[in-house]
Amino acid sequence: MGRGSKDKRDIYYRQAKEEGYRARSAFKLLQLDEEFDIFRNVERVVDLCAAPGSWSQVLSQKLRPTENDRVKIVAVDLQAMAPLPGVIQMQGDITKEATAQEIVQHFDGGYADLVVSDGAPDVTGLHDIDEYVQSQLILAALNISTHVLKRGGTFIAKIFRGRDVQLLYAQLETFFDVVTCSKPRSSRNSSIEAFVVCVGYNPPEGYTPHMSNPLLDHDYDKYENALVGVNRAIVPFLACGDLNCFDSDKTYPLADGAVLKAPTQTPISPPYAKAVRLKKEAAVGLGNVHVERATDSATENQ
């Protein structure tokens, strides 16, 4: 992509590069903190689906402004991630119980005060499919949170808001006292993404966390059918910010003295690397076919 097109990206993309964040998504977590004060009295945090690490950067800056051994941040992802100061990195699958056990070991047997997840699948553009896959990812993140989150803790995750999201809300309300759906101003208006902020972890009486059913699709009938229709789960929605703030769907001029910088951290092992390699191999193979055909044609003309 050319330099000129980079200049036209939204204000949060350029501001993230100027301030050294690995992705513009850092501002989403910062704005959620402005609205909900999620970092108060937090010393142990788990960042699920952490790569490339922008949320871990925010957590490190907010919770460890100075060297503080009491604060521990564990970042988990299947992909490799460049090191960050004060962040313990793990490559693991959030649907595996071994991952949950390793997280707890990093906390010396304690539990997390806060679990965050900014993970999302590779979108297809088909909203129904994207919403379903994202909801399963949230449930997997919620399930591992039941192993590592202390009572009264907070869980934050990206969600795709759609027409069939009520069951997911009902499942979250089963485990938390307060569930709020929020859209920070740095989240593009054209996107269906939002974030669920779940406060006060309080699992049902007798609930035992386990990984044999990572999507939590057991019987929720007595919870979800207490009400019917759209009133089955009433979740408040909060849009962070106001009309005086930057609109992430618009383009603003660079500030005076601002310098366009390269991304702070490029992907170490991007998931599309295999696709790029196969495309190059296919192009080379196609080129060889054209050469062979041209040679055959020249031979026939002779």
d(CA 67, CA 58): 15
Q: What is the DSSP string of 136-182?
A: HHHHHHHHHHHHHEEEEEEEEEEEE--TT-HHHHHHHHHHEEEEEEE
Contact predicate 71/43, CB 8 Å = yes
Q: Which of 17, 28, 72, 158 is catalytic?
A: 158
d(CA 199, CA 84): 27
* Token pair for 123: 């979108």
- Annotated ligand binding at 53? The verdict is yes
Query: What is the spatial distance between Cα 266 and Cα 52, in angstroms, rounded to a whole number?
Result: 8
Structure tokens at 268: 């170490």
Torsion on CA atoms 81, 83, 88, 93, rounded to nearest 10: 10
CA distance 198 to 147: 16
125 among the known binding-site residues? no
158 is catalytic: yes
Residue 93 assigned ligand-binding role: yes
Query: Does the annotation list 119 as a binding residue?
Result: no
Q: Which residue has the tokens 């690490």?
A: 53
d(CA 5, CA 75): 32
Residues 6 or more apart whose Cβ sits within 8 Å of residue 216: 139, 142, 143, 171
Give the integer Cα–Cα distance in Å for 274 and 276: 5
55 is an annotated ligand-binding site residue:
yes
159 contacts 114 by C-beta, under 8 angstroms: no
Catalytic residue numbers, as ranges: 158
Binding-site residue numbers are: 53, 55, 77, 93, 118
Binding-site residue numbers for S-adenosyl-L-methionine are: 53, 55, 77, 93, 118
